[in-house]
Amino acid sequence: MKTKENIFLSIMTSLQKEGALAEIILIGSWCQYFYRIYFNNTPEISAIRTVDIDFLIPRPHNSKKDINVPDILNAYKFVSETNYISGYNKFVNPELEIEFLTPELGKGSDKPYLVKNLHVTA
């Protein structure tokens, strides 16, 4: 069985190959994984991570490149789960969850934001 870290790195590699990492920004506790590597496993950087991987999608999102992120994640056995009340979706597999977030832009920004060219709702 693959570890969470192996799944994470495989997903990051696939997203990079498709050009998605130019469109989204890794945020949250999984950034620390790279910080620890870059800073030689320094003890000041926590090794504790949540099970959810968070990506920030800048807003407004102006890219025109079509990247089917759900197809990329399906290759790693991720399934889209939608909260039918809010319309927000996330991707889950037995090991990890992936969420796409956007910055708050004021009144009404708590509604789901469809990013058409990435095929996700943030």
Range of the domain at 117: 4-121
Domains: count for the chain: 1
Strands 52-56 and 25-27: antiparallel
The CATH number of residue 94's host domain is: 3.30.460
DSSP 36-54: HHHTTT-TTS-----SEEE
pLDDT of residue 14: 97
Average pLDDT of the segment spanning 19-35: 89
Tens digit of pLDDT for each residue in 40-94?
888 777 777 778 999 999 887 778 889 999 999 999 999 999 878 777 889 999 9
Q: What are residue 26's DSSP bridge partners?
A: 55
Q: What are residue 56's DSSP bridge partners?
A: 25, 101
